Amino acid sequence: MSTKYPSTMSCAEAFDRLTSCYSVGGQFRNYYRYGEFNPCFKQLDKFKFCIVNGTDAVKVQQWYRDEANFNAKNRGTSDDIWLERQVLNN
């Protein structure tokens, strides 16, 4: 087992992040930052995973490893949206 990734996952924290994502404030913040509403798929998937596999340290570490790899390859930043807005305003 690797110590680079957490081996525990809090289902309460996953639930809190899910409800925060679905909240009006969470949706407004996402729209302001990224220009679209968030369907909260990542938060829902994490909560479901936690309910089923949250006590299996190996699966939890694999989850975090997969998420880190996905984010490294596919995640942009809010700067991408701000640059696009600047181009549209000029």
- Is pLDDT at 76 greater than 70 in this prediction? no
Q: What is the pTM of this model?
A: 0.76
More confident residue, 41 or 83: 41
Distance CA(28)–CA(30), nearest Å, equals 5
Contacts of 37 (CB under 8 A, 6+ apart): 27, 30, 31
Contacts of 18 (CB under 8 A, 6+ apart): 40, 43, 44, 46, 47
- Is pLDDT at 1 greater than 60 in this prediction? no
Report pLDDT for 28: 95
Supply 67's token pair. 């998420």
**53 and 60 Cβ atoms separated by less than 8 Å:** yes
CA angle 72, 73, 76 (to 5 degrees): 80
Mean pLDDT of the chain: 88
